Chain A
Amino acid sequence: MKIHDIEARMRGKFGDLPLKRDETGVTGASWSIAVPIGDLRDAATEFNAAGFFLESITALDFEDTFELVYHFNCFEPGSRAVVRVLCGHDQVPPSICDIFRGAAWLEREVHDFFGITFSGNVDMRALLLPEDADYYPLRKTFGKVGAYHKREVIYG
């Protein structure tokens, strides 16, 4: 099973602490790993080498930080894993579009909605929003929202 291989490799690289298993199945993934922003490309390279595909990239907007959430999966049953990266509101995460070709569009979508620029992705044109859009609709400061929390309110 590829998911066990990659888990061992991740533990070897980042240690046991940042890796959280999910026994309940609610998060849809076997485990998730919190990776520092500088190691994101290393983690993605490992997943690519292990034969995974990139299912989705999305961001969460908290009062104190952004969090990027990468879902990886491979063509085997129950093999989803999550890479989570904390990214300050003024930080520029590295792009992984040269590792996974499909990441280029997903990063453009995140840029559209949250205004996060990915360094190394040369094409940051608007994807879903109009070309001249100067707003970031999924930020909690835009439009009508229920609440704007710090990250610890939800994830403890």
Chain B
Amino acid sequence: MAELEKIEASDRVYSLNLGPQHPSTHGVLRIVLDLDGEYIIKADPVIGYGHRGHEKMGENRPYKQFLPNTSRMDYLSGMLFNHGFVLAVEKLVGIKVPERAKYIRVIASELNRISSHLLWFGTYLMDLGGFTPFLYAFDDREQILDILDSITGSRLTYSYCRFGGVSRDVDLKFIEMTRAFLKRMEKRWADYDSLVTKNVIFIHRTRDVGVIDRELARQYGVTGPNLRACGVAFDVRRSEPYEVYDRLDFEIPTGTKGDALDRYDVRFKEMQQSCRIIDQALDQLPEGEFLTPKVPQKLGPPKGEVYTAFESARGLTAYYMVSDGSPGPYRCHIRVPSFGNLNALNDVLPGTLVADAISILGSIDVVIPEIDR
């Protein structure tokens, strides 16, 4: 016993690789943890396992050919990334979008946001040891995938938006399916609330765990639900409204402490707000064209640059493109939200238990292929 006490603290430290093939890292992420017993004293996320060079690909092909790449960065909110890219190019070239197309895009984007949050909801609770919510969440998510499948033809990596509109009009069947989904979810939110939100085990695993406060969020550029959980009502849909978001009535849910429970609450309420947005957009959906017929095959944008921000399921995302007047961008940079959100773990994880690390990692909802690009 006396000998044990003589061992220096630095000798007691050992390193643990969390990942890259860990079930709760949701993608190929590795975090090198330095541990003192069960406590983390240093965390170093190692990323880049899924780097495919999307920015380089953007630079050596025309804008239109890059369109399918966009939804493969954040594959869980592919529609939102696809949407943001056409917004950027339309702004650069100066293409007008018909009203109907704007509404269709908003409906599709919000459906995708719900499906992304539902997947997070299911997998996060499974990480914490609850298997049942996962099955319910995936059942609901399946409904959205069916709805989006009927208009886009794909289940995950949608390439639905076009410069000047969308590739296919929505029909009555789509509207019926979406309305049925909204009706179904009304009851589901109450079920989830009593099944999960009030579950005492869940509360103990999340309350006061992994606090990201306002200052830490600002230092690391944390955005999206993770930022709103600490009480900052910052949402690109409100601060720089694009498409028809300024005509729709919705709230920006915020938390107070910025712990894992607040992040859960914010996402949970965000799904309900997305339902509200879809409901209003369906009501207002005008007749008319879904695609501008006048967009040329080969785009010739003016020289200069464009920066377009939009709210993906994980936060502020932006496309930054520099044009030299040719049909493809000279430089194509993508600002992704998970980059800053994951980076903040450098400061959040030290001092917490390994078991909490799983809870924290799940609660910030990172998608690794989006960071790696």
Contacts and interface: CB of A to CB of B under 8 A. Distances in A.
Contacts of A127: 47-48
B219 interface: yes
A58 B333 CA distance: 7
Contact of B92 (A26, A102, A128): A26
A154 B322 contact: yes
Contacts of A78: 239-240
Interface stretch (B97-105, B142-150, B324-332): B324-332
A60 B318 contact: no
Interface in A33-51: 51
Contact of B218 (A29, A51, A138, A144): A51
Contact of B240 (A61, A71, A77, A145): A77
B48 A101 contact: no
Given A53-B218, A101-B220, A153 B322 contact: no
A153 B92 CA distance: 17
A126 interface: yes
A143 B328 CA distance: 16
A77 B239 contact: yes
A69 interface: yes
Nearest to A78: B240
A100 B347 CA distance: 13
Interface of B is mostly: mixed
Contact of B60 (A126, A128, A143): A143
A99 to B, nearest CB: 9
B220 A76 contact: no
* Contact count band on A: 35 or more
Contacts of A51: 218
B18 to A, nearest CB: 18
Given A56-B333, A56-B335, A128-B48, A100 B219 contact: yes
A60 B239 contact: no
Interface stretch (B121-129, B267-275, B282-290, B306-314): B306-314
B343 A105 contact: yes
**Range of interface residues on B (Cβ < 8 Å):** 35 or more
Nearest to A149: B324
A18 B320 CA distance: 21
Residue of A27, A53, A100, A156 with highest tally of chain B CB at under 10 A: A53
Contact of A146 (B227, B330, B339): B330
Interface in A12-35: 25-29
Interface string A108-150: 0000010000000000001111100000011000111111010
User: Which of A79, A102, A113, A142: most chain B Cβ within 10 A?
Assistant: A102
The 7 closest A-B pairs by CB, nearest first: A28-B307, A128-B48, A102-B220, A77-B239, A56-B335, A75-B234, A101-B219
22 contacts: A25-B91, A26-B91, A26-B304, A28-B307, A55-B221, A56-B318, A79-B239, A80-B307, A127-B48, A128-B48, A130-B48, A137-B53, A142-B56, A145-B59, A146-B324, A146-B328, A147-B326, A153-B324, A154-B303, A154-B323, A154-B324, A154-B330
Given A71-B318, A128-B48, 5 more contacts: A28-B240, A53-B221, A144-B60, A146-B324, A149-B324
